[in-house]
């Protein structure tokens, strides 16, 4: 028994040792697990919690509302509008029927469209389209329906100023004002924290704003929206009428250099800025600046005689021709007739340095400084690089390239008494709250010619419109100073056969200019001379400006001048008219025989049209009031201006009443009262900032 008992004790000893070893092992494992747990939860706990947050949270940028671009009167041209995207989380919706009805009512969806998200197995379903603030308010507070803010760039008045304004791509300004002032308009984005699912996708409606965005500032243009609309319509009509590929039209204030309207068109779209990016050889529209240089340097006077012979002259191995044979003439008449030969002959009186500096002083061959990207400087070679033909070529507008904007500013220098102004497209810069940051003031670049030279040239250019190559730019009540041009298109390898640029630069009233209008048409078909194609565009533009409801004009000064013109016209009407002939001008437009024009007196305005729209001949200074009921007040006013009448527009919209009534006989220069239906669409008011 003792042996067996002792054997039992001997057998139990190893078992107890194994248990102790196993117990020790599990104790150590437990201690290790406990230590690891303490390490993970206490020592490394903060790091792991941060990692978990990182996996289920993400930071995002809140885009700032881009600042508005306004016209000179404060009307928004382009602005950022709030829109909202709507998503539905079907599994979170408690009352499907009620939510379907709310979606249908708020978003204008059919019941089937509103029910479609609930037929999906997806966690959430975005609905198509962007919706208004009213839709957001109607859907707020509905469980399972999420509304996200989105900003879109909107142009309330369409593409009228698209070339000037530019575009925004991925919140970065591209071209025009959007690019030039991107830093001001963009604003500062905010920051937010977004919840995301296991695949890293943001969960709509679960976000927290960390830093709110700061909206962008505002840019106020010098452009007048009404004048811009007039310019776009006039250029569109010209392109349709002439078959031209494109063109430019610029309206400026010569006293300040402000650009009141500027449009470039190609393929029917006003999204180009060719007026300042595409230089070309201007042809005869450059001739006034050669004459200005001659007068300013004292190398010639407008009364200087020149013999143009039979209309052909060979110089430096090249033959120049005039369409109209002038023979012996003076410089003033040669400019009105746009004689190539006279310009080239008289330019020989200038040294190359004088001719170069004269053109350079008017701004040719250098950027104008307009605050828009992509401006071309054009080309004007220095005298050291001239050939024997360069002087004659420059005198008639070749071997030089200019932009339409450069020419508009140069004509502005003649209009304002001889001072070249820097073009202004920006009037003010404002902060996010509308506070004024900077106001751009007019800046004179230099005095180019004296007031006397500018005045004498203005009289001569008024004669070019009254009885020269630009008669189709004339107005009934005001004298217009201007010059036509027709130049061949250079393709880089040579001049294209049958392709021309038709141009006209002018300003009115010639005695006290308030507006400069420059027109360029690219490759007009059929009639291609500037006098026949570009000059009528200028006239249509000026008539529409005069007929506008509130144009940027000094109407009191115009009224005083009109009364003076009426008295002068009455005096002339008592004298027997000179015999009229119709030779062909150098730019191809039929013009009357040149009449003597005293340099000390302003040129007389173009006569009223020969017949009213009713077909009643005009005689003894009287016209019959046409029927204009129902047509646009702007079109009616333009028609009445063409008859030599003043117009007082009481209200816009289709015409409902005219006083005196249609059919009445009135004297040329009388005032007609137009009353419209005032149904023109209201302008979009300045929006509140989001």
Quick check: 618 pLDDT over 70? no
Q: Answer yes or no: are the C-beta atoms of 231 and 263 closer than 8 Å.
A: yes
pLDDT at 103: 83
Secondary structure class of 519 (helix, strand, coil): strand
* pLDDT (0 to 100) of residue 14: 59
Q: Is 309 helix (H, G, I), strand (E, B) or coil?
A: coil
> What's the pLDDT at 596?
28
Tell me, yes or no, whether 290 lies in a domain.
Answer: yes
Helices (H), 445-491: 451-467
First to last CA, the chain: 101
Calculate mean pLDDT across residues 207-212.
71
Reported as a single tens digit per residue, the pLDDT across 166-188 is 999 888 899 999 999 999 999 88
> CB of 643 within 8 A of CB of 608?
yes
What's the pLDDT at 52?
59
DSSP assignment of 121-165 equals -SS-EEPSS-B-HHHHHHHTT-TTEEEEEEEEEE-TTGGGGHHHH
Give pLDDT tens digits for 274-329: 999 999 999 999 999 999 999 999 999 999 999 999 889 998 888 999 888 889 99
Mean model confidence pLDDT for the chain? 81
Residue 393, in any domain of the structure: yes
* 664 located within any domain: yes
R_g (Cα) of the chain, nearest Å: 38
Give the residue with greater pLDDT, 637 vs 465: 465
The answer to whether residue 644 is domain-embedded is: yes
- CA–CA separation, 30 vs 242, rounded Å? 96
pLDDT in tens, 654-683: 788 888 877 776 666 667 788 877 644 444
123 and 250 fall within a common domain: no
* pLDDT (0 to 100) of residue 73: 92
Query: Alpha-carbon distance 491 to 501, whole Å?
Result: 12
Structural domain contains residue 48? no
Structure-block tokens of residue 295: 């007068």
The residue assigned the tokens 């001239």 is 386
Q: Give the residue with greater pLDDT, 282 vs 684.
A: 282
Going by pLDDT thresholds of 50, 70 and 90, the confidence category of residue 547 is confident
Same domain (yes/no): 198, 246: no
Number of Cβ within 10 Å of residue 495's Cβ equals: 14
Asked whether the predicted pLDDT for residue 609 surpasses 50, the reply is no
User: Hunting for tokens 């333009």 — which residue is that?
Assistant: 638
Lowest-confidence region among 413-427, 541-555, 588-602: 588-602
The answer on 203 and 264 residing in a single domain is: no
C-beta separation of 290 from 391 below 8 A: no
Residue pLDDT, tens place only, 55-96: 566 666 777 889 999 999 999 999 988 777 888 888 777 788
What pTM does this model have?
0.74
Give the Å distances, CA to CA, from 514 to 56, 131, 415, 509, 686: 66, 46, 8, 7, 29
Residue 665: per-residue pLDDT: 67
Q: What is the pLDDT of residues 101-111, one digit of tens each?
A: 888 877 878 88
pLDDT of residue 594: 25
A 10 A CB-CB count for 38 gives 12
176, 277 Cβ separation under 8 angstroms: no
Helix axis angle for 287-297 and 451-467, nearest 10°, is 140
> According to the model, what pLDDT value does residue 117 have?
82
Last residue of a domain, one of 575, 606, 637: 606
Could you tell me if 124 and 87 are in contact, meaning their C-beta atoms sit under 8 angstroms apart? yes
What's 299's domain CATH number?
3.40.710.10
For residue range 640-654, what is the model confidence (pLDDT) as tens digits? 766 767 677 777 777
Q: Would you say residue 378 has pLDDT above 70? A: yes
Same domain, residue pair 583 and 680: no
Mean pLDDT in residue range 427-434: 93
| Nearest CA-CA partner of 133 in 83, 173, 204, 94 | 83
CB 77 within 8 A of CB 222: no
Phi, psi of 643 (to 5 degrees): -90, 0
Range of lowest pLDDT (32-36, 524-528, 633-637): 633-637
Q: Which residue range(s) make up the domain with 209?
A: 60-176+189-216
Q: Do both 612 and 602 map to the same domain?
A: no
Residue 89 sits in the same domain as residue 8:
no
Q: What percentage of the chain carries pLDDT values higher than 90? A: 42
- Cβ proximity of 298 and 287 under 8 Å: no
Q: Look up residue 39 and give its DSSP letter.
A: I
What distance in Å separates the CA atoms of residue 230 and residue 80, rounded to the nearest whole number? 26
Query: For position 614, which CATH number holds?
Result: 3.30.10.20
Angle, to 10 degrees, between the axis of helix 633-642 and the axis of helix 530-547?
120
Contact in structure between 273 and 176 (CB atoms under 8 Å)? yes
Q: Is the pLDDT of residue 589 over 50?
A: no
Residue 628 and residue 601 in one domain? no
- Asked, as a colleague might, if the bond just before 630 is cis with ω within 30 of 0, I would say no
Once rounded to an integer, what is the mean pLDDT over residues 106-130? 78
- In total, how many domains does the chain have? 4
Long-range contacts of 205-212 (CB under 8 A, 24+ apart): 205/87, 205/146, 205/147, 205/148, 207/60, 209/62, 210/59, 211/62, 212/62
> Who's near 341: CB < 8 A, 6+ residues apart?
306, 308, 309, 311, 312, 313, 320, 321, 322
Contact 413, 446 (CB under 8 A): no
Same domain membership, residue 269 and residue 211? no
> Residue 249: inside a domain, yes or no?
yes
For residue 123, the model assigns a pLDDT of: 75
Q: Give me the phi and psi of 348, to 5 degrees please.
A: -65, -15
- d(Cα 54, Cα 451) in Å, to the nearest integer? 74
Residue 198 has pLDDT above 80, yes or no: no
Residue 57 is predicted with a pLDDT of 64
Nearest to 378 by CA among 278, 289, 288: 278
297, 259: one domain: yes
Residue 296 lies in a domain: yes
Q: Does residue 560 share a domain with residue 438?
A: yes
Q: Are 565 and 443 part of one and the same domain?
A: yes
- Co-location of 327 and 373 in the same domain: yes
Dihedral (CA of 199, 203, 206, 210) sign: positive
Residue pair 224/71 in contact (Cβ under 8 Å)? The answer is: yes
Instruction: Report the C-alpha gap between 237 and 563 in whole angstroms.
Output: 32
Q: Which of 125-129, 294-298, 313-317, 502-506 has the lowest mean pLDDT?
A: 125-129
What pLDDT score was predicted for residue 679? 45
* Residues sharing a CB contact under 8 Å with residue 655, sequence separation 6 or more, in sequence order: 628, 629, 630, 631, 632, 633, 636, 674, 675, 676, 677
Domain closes at, from 579, 606, 633: 606
Q: Is residue 55 part of a domain?
A: no
- Residue 419 predicted with pLDDT over 60: yes
């Amino acid at each position: 028994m003792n042996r067996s008992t002792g054997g039992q004790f001997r057998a139990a000893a190893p078992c107890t040792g194994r248990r102790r070893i196993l117990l020790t092992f599990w104790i150590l494992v437990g201690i290790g697990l406990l230590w690891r747990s303490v390490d993970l939860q206490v020592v490394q706990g903060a790091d792991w919690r941060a990692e978990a947050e990182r996996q289920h949270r993400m930071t995002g940028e809140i885009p700032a509302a881009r600042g508005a671009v306004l016209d000179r009167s404060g009307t928004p041209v382009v602005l950022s509008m709030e829109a909202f995207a709507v998503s539905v989380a079907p599994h979170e919706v408690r009352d499907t029927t009620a939510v379907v009805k709310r979606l249908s009512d708020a978003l204008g969806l059919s019941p089937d469209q509103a029910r479609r998200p609930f037929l999906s197995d997806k966690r959430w379903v975005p609905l198509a389209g962007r919706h208004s603030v009213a839709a957001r308010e109607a859907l707020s507070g509905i469980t399972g329906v999420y509304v996200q803010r989105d900003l879109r760039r909107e142009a309330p008045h369409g593409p009228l100023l698209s070339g000037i304004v530019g575009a925004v791509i991925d919140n970065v300004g591209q071209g025009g004002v959007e690019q030039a002032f991107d830093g001001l308009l963009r604003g500062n984005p905010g920051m937010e924290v977004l919840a995301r699912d296991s695949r890293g996708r943001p969960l709509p409606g679960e976000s927290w704003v960390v830093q709110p965005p700061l909206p962008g500032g505002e840019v106020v243009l010098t452009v007048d929206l009404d004048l811009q609309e007039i310019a776009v319509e006039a250029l569109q009509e010209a392109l349709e009428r002439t078959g031209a590929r494109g063109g430019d039209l610029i309206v400026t204030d010569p006293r300040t250099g402000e650009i009141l309207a500027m449009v470039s068109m190609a393929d029917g779209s006003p999204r180009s800025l060719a007026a300042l990016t595409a230089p070309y050889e201007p042809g005869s529209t450059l001739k006034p600046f050669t004459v200005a240089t001659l007068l300013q340097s004292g190398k010639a006077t407008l009364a200087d005689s020149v013999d143009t012979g039979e209309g052909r002259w060979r110089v430096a191995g090249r033959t120049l021709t005039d369409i109209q044979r002038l023979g012996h003439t003076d410089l003033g008449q040669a400019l009105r007739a746009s004689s190539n030969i006279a310009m080239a002959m008289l330019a020989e009186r200038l040294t190359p340095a004088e001719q170069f500096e004269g053109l350079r002083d008017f701004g040719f061959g250098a950027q104008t400084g307009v605050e828009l990207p992509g401006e071309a400087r054009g080309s004007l070679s220095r005298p050291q690089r001239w050939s024997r033909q360069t002087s004659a070529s420059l005198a008639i507008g070749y071997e030089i390239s200019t932009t339409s904007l450069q020419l508009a500013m140069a004509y502005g220098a003649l209009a304002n008494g001889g001072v070249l102004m820097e073009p202004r497209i920006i009037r003010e810069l404002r902060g996010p709250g509308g506070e004024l940051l900077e106001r751009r003031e007019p800046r004179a670049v230099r005095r180019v010619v004296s007031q006397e030279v500018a005045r004498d040239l203005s009289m001569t250019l008024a004669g070019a419109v009254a009885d020269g190559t630009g008669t189709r730019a004339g107005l009934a009540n005001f004298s217009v100073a201007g010059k036509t041009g027709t130049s061949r298109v250079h393709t880089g390898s040579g001049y294209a056969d049958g392709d021309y640029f038709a141009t006209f630069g002018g300003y009115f009233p010639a005695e006290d200019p308030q507006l400069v209008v420059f027109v360029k048409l690219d490759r007009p078909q059929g009639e291609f001379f500037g006098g026949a194609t570009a000059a009528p565009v200028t006239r249509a533009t000026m008539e529409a400006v005069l007929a506008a409801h509130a144009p940027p004009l000094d109407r009191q000064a115009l009224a005083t001048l009109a009364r003076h013109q009426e008295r002068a016209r009455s005096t002339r009407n008592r004298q027997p008219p000179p015999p009229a002939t119709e030779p062909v001008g150098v730019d191809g437009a039929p013009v009357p025989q040149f009449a003597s024009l005293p340099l000390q007196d302003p040129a007389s305005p173009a006569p009223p049209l020969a017949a009213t729209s009713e077909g009643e001949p005009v005689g003894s200074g009287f016209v019959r009031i046409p029927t204009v009921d129902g047509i646009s007040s702007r079109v009616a006013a333009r028609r009445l201006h063409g008859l030599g009448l003043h117009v007082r527009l009481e209200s816009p919209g289709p015409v409902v009443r005219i006083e005196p009534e249609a059919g009445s006989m009135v004297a040329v220069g009388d005032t007609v009262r137009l009353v419209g239906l005032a149904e023109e669409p209201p302008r979009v008011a300045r929006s509140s900032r989001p």
